[in-house]
Each structure stands twice: as C-alpha cells, then as structure tokens.
Chain A
Amino acid sequence: AQTVTQSQPEMSVQEAETVTLSCTYDTSESDYYLFWYKQPPSRQMILVIRQEAYKQQNATENRFSVNFQKAAKSFSLKISDSQLGDAAMYFCAYRPYLVGNMLTFGGGTRLMVKP
C-alpha cells in the first residue's frame, strides 16, 4: 500500500518570504502522479500543482514550484513571495497510474502567513 507523509504539521512564513513544505511517499510503482492541494478555511480543496513521475522537469505554477526527487521519493512544495491568501492547509497526494487506484493523501501541513 502506498503511504504519503507530511512531517510538518504546522509551518509559518513571513509575508513576501519563501517557504517549503515537505512530502515523502512510499511506492513500488514507477508510473504515478503527485499533487499538492490547498484547503483554505472555506474548506474547498483547490489543486495547486501536479507532477507526472515520468517527467524529470519540476512543475511550476506562478509562485508555486515543486522539487521532485523520484529516487528519494520526495515531493516538496515551494511557495515564493508568500501572500496572506496562501494561509491554508496543504495536502500532498499520490495517485498511481493503475486501474482503479485512487488518491492517497498525506496528513496535511497548516501554513500560517504572518503580515
């Protein structure tokens, strides 16, 4: 069974600074997808970024980028120029490229942004 671990229950960052959220996963599969979702107090799960395991290039979306280390099974999220609206719960998730396999979520990291 796959597992996803987020070792930082809470993180804080000063507005305009950079913060990195950690995620590791355990799998025996070679083809899979990784995601970061953001869940603000409104509770909607919002997709932040997606990475295909077969792509060596790290995904980026504006101020959000990942550091994907396939051999180390690590998938960290970097948020640059942090904004107050980035304050939320962040979930790392794994989905294998196999029939019928669903998302596995990490335990989440609560990010606080200080003005």
Chain B
Amino acid sequence: DTEVTQTPKHLVMGMTNKKSLKCEQHMGHRAMYWYKQKAKKPPELMFVYSYEKLSINESVPSRFSPECPNSSLLNLHLHALQPEDSALYLCASSQDRDTGNTIYFGEGSWLTVV
C-alpha cells in the first residue's frame, strides 16, 4: 500500500485545457517531488519542494506549474500542453530534501494529451 496518493490515475486532456494533478502524503515528510516518466525510461526530476517552498525546478516549461498548499499536498497545474507531454507523472516524498532519506513514490498519474 502506498502512502503517497495521486489523483487522478488517468487523465486525457486537449491542448487547450487546464487540468491539475494532485498528490497527498501523510507521513510527515517535508520534501515533495514531481517526476515525469516516459515509457521504458527512468523517471526524470521536474520539481522539488522543501518545507513548502520550491527549491528545484529542472528547467521545466512554464506550461507545468507546481503548487504546494501545505506540507501534505502537492499539485501540478497543467495548461496548454503538447502531445509530447503525454507521460506518467510520479509524485514522491521524503523526510527532507538534504540527506539520503529514502524517496517514496505514489502510483502515478497517466496523462495523455490529445
């Protein structure tokens, strides 16, 4: 059973739509992450939040907009996406950002852009 919960599990959106992916963890972790994963590839880091502040943005296009409303929630707002943005989006969390704490992943949100 995962302790990082992501919704929705599947999302199909048009290139002009605005949608959001949501992530929640109840482990008291203070670091949360968004990863993007294409088929048969390892996950690629997109954003890192540490104590609810954005600490790393891996040069992600502005059509992806992260938000951390509180220490348990992480959102990824999507707008004007391209078909090549179709991928599995994984949320993850760890006790904190700056040590070797294990990073725990959610089940992912599969996004298809049409």
Interface residues in chain A, defined as those with a beta carbon under 8 Å from any beta carbon in chain B: 32-33, 35, 37, 42-47, 50, 52, 89, 91, 95-97, 99-100, 102-103, 105-108
Contacts and interface: CB of A to CB of B under 8 A. Distances in A.
B102 interface: yes
A3 to B, nearest CB: 12
A50 B101 CA distance: 10
B45 A103 contact: yes
Contact of A44 (B2, B42, B103): B2
Interface residues of B, number: 26
Interface stretch (B14-22, B67-75, B78-86, B92-100): B92-100
A44 B45 contact: no
B46 to A, nearest CB: 11
Given A44-B2, A91-B42, A103 B108 contact: no
Given A44-B107, A45-B90, A105 B42 contact: yes
B100 A33 contact: yes
Interface of B: 2, 33, 37, 40-43, 45, 48, 55-56, 88, 90, 92, 97-100, 102-108, 110
Nearest to B40: A108
A35 B56 CA distance: 22
B105 A100 contact: no
A29 B103 CA distance: 20
A44 B48 contact: no
